[in-house]
Amino acid sequence: MFGAKARHLVRKTILPGNCSWCRWSSSSKAPEAAAKPDANAAQRQKLIQELAEPIESRGRPTIDPKETSVVLFPGQGTQYVGMTKDLLRFPGARRIFELANEVLQYDLLKICLEGPREKLNRTEFAQLAVMVSSLAALEQLREERPKAIENCVAAAGFSLGEITALVFAGAMPFDKALQLVQIRANAMQAACDQAPGAMAMTLYGPDTNLGEACAKALQWCVDSGVESPYCGVANYMYPHCKVVAGSVQALEFLEKHAKALKIRRMKHLAVSGAFHTPLMESAVEPFAKALKSIRLQDPIIRVYSNVDGKPYKNASHILRQLPKQIVKPVKWEQTLHELYERRQGVDFPRTFECGPGKGLLQVLEKVNAKAAQTSFNVTA
């Protein structure tokens, strides 16, 4: 299915401890290096299980928690022309793009480096660019901090980044993930064309009833004859900050009446539709169909679902849950609470954001300032 060059490259593109997207293809022979036992696997798995237990029943961790790590992956909207330039000094990062180019049959790296911006920002290219760049950033982390990979106990990704996290955790082969993201991006763009929408970062105070504000905007759309309108929360970011999405007219209503609705500020996002809302319903079926064709594996570390903020249990759970993410809000604030919950006095893990931008660490600082004190950015 794929060329000999790509199969040769993947044998050399293996992260330590197998805690990565080392499965190139669900149908190809596993690389020899992947068969080697992971010296850290048993110890890491024991800690994962211990951290998953109720707080009151946990014993002393077998690994010092501050020596463990969590990896976060960004989503669409973080891309920019010129990203990945500094990663090209790492052979592994270059190999990742060679593999991606062979699967996609076009030069994704060139689009990342040279744009133009209008092309890079198109959903069909942006989602792939962010995912591959994020995985390439892992090569820098592997070179500079190999223990961060070996002692990784959990991963999470924002929207598209959740698929990146599943690849990293070995639940999904890299080539199949690329094809899945292609289908996801095209289906979401088609949904945007069918039902134009918008998204806006919304800041508000403790006296604001955002749900009521969205309901008023929706009713105004109904009264105005807008076809199949929607208005609601699409992303839970941090206290008093959410992304609201829906019909263009609904967001215009919120902006126009912001003062009366006690909304402090709204900033439109550079996206082409109302992602993570029912307006994306038509994208679910093609995505779910493509996901069913992939031979999924149980993640070897905890990966958290955007739908409910909790870790996936197994491969079948991924198959059921992941398609819902397209039309359900991203519960990122809830994910961070779940991810960093621990007994008082227990150290936090080191957190690494791998990919373009630093937005997820900025959000972490607002949700859990103590956890953010040991966070680092590995930018693409």
pTM for this predicted structure: 0.86
Choose, from 272, 276, 305, 375, the residue flagged as catalytic. 276
DSSP state of 104: H
For 277-334, write each residue's pLDDT tens digit: 999 999 999 999 999 999 999 999 999 999 999 999 999 999 999 999 999 999 999 9
pLDDT of residue 145: 96
Mean pLDDT for the chain?
87
Q: Is 122 helix (H, G, I), strand (E, B) or coil?
A: coil
Choose, from 25, 159, 305, 375, the residue flagged as catalytic. 159
Residue whose C-alpha is closest to residue 174's, from 124, 126, 132, 112: 132
Q: Residue 298 and residue 284: Cα distance in Å, rounded?
A: 22
**CA gyration radius, the chain:** 21
Known catalytic residue: 240?
no
Q: In what order do the strands lie in the sheet with 152-157?
A: 302-303, 152-157, 69-73, 350-355, 375-379
Residue ranges for the chain with pLDDT beneath 50 = 1-22, 27-37, 47-61
pLDDT of residue 55: 33
pLDDT of residue 203: 98
Q: Residue 298 and residue 275: Cα distance in Å, rounded?
A: 27
pLDDT of residue 42: 57
Joined tokens for residue 242: 């959410």
Known catalytic residue: 276?
yes
For 193-213, write each residue's pLDDT tens digit: 999 999 999 999 999 999 999
